[in-house]
Amino acid sequence: MSGPGFVIFETALGACAMAWSASGVCGVRFPHPDRGAVAAEARRAWPQARLLEPPSEVAAIVADVRALTAGEPRDFGDVAIDLSGVPDFQRRVYDLARAIPCGQTLTYGDVAARIGAPGAARAVGEALGRNPVPILVPCHRVLAAGGRRGGFSAPGGVAAKMRLLQIEGALALERLPLFAPQASSASRK
């Protein structure tokens, strides 16, 4: 990959941005309905990068992100990412999150225990909240204890997290109150 550069692209869920360096993808901005807001955020987040036509390997990742947001499961475990400057604890969290298979989930506590930091579930959540490459590091696959939703700092919040999990087959549509049909007033009487 050459770089640094970034691209803004449309998905079924809104505009996204992706930045890359010579070492791999170094940033992703999650779908947002306002393309201008995504462009402004990209310029703030990656001031050394220029808006460029992506190299073929980045274009392939962009195509997969588009497919995922359109409802086709994708796994990004083999995508080269550049986590230079990311502290060791966060890197361990991201490495473990990348190892969660598509269609499966872990809890924040599970991740903490598996990286050798039992009791650090809150720190895991904070690390995932600072994830520079969401979707490529699938922080949406990490839930709160007991399978509760937990947080999600990307635009769309928890609803976006649940939508991604539903696309990947980790949650059945009927388990998602956000997408479940509403009972009619007649059936509630």
**Each residue's pLDDT tens digit in the chain (189 positions)?**
666 999 999 998 889 999 999 999 999 998 888 899 999 999 999 999 999 999 999 999 999 999 988 888 888 989 999 999 899 999 999 999 999 998 888 899 999 999 999 999 999 999 998 999 999 999 888 887 766 556 555 655 666 777 777 878 777 544 444 433 333 334 333
Predicted local confidence at residue 103, as pLDDT:
85
Strand, helix or coil for residue 137 = strand
Alpha-carbon distance of 46 to 25, in angstroms, equals 12
Residues 6+ apart with CB under 8 A from 11: 31, 65, 66, 69, 70
Instruction: Specify whether the CB–CB gap between 33 and 54 falls below 8 A.
Output: no
Predicted local confidence at residue 122, as pLDDT:
94
Predicted local confidence at residue 124, as pLDDT:
95
Tell me whether residue 16 is one of the annotated catalytic residues: no
Indicate which residue of 16, 26, 102, 139 is catalytic.
139
Q: Does this model's pTM top 0.95? A: no
Which pairing describes strands 5-11 and 50-51: parallel, antiparallel, or unpaired? parallel
Residue with tokens 């966060």, as numbered in its chain? 90
Predicted local confidence at residue 61, as pLDDT:
97
Residue 178, token pair as written in the block: 């956000």
The angle at the Cα of 92, spanning 90 to 98, to the nearest 5 degrees, equals 100
Predicted local confidence at residue 157, as pLDDT:
63
DSSP-derived letter for residue 104 is -
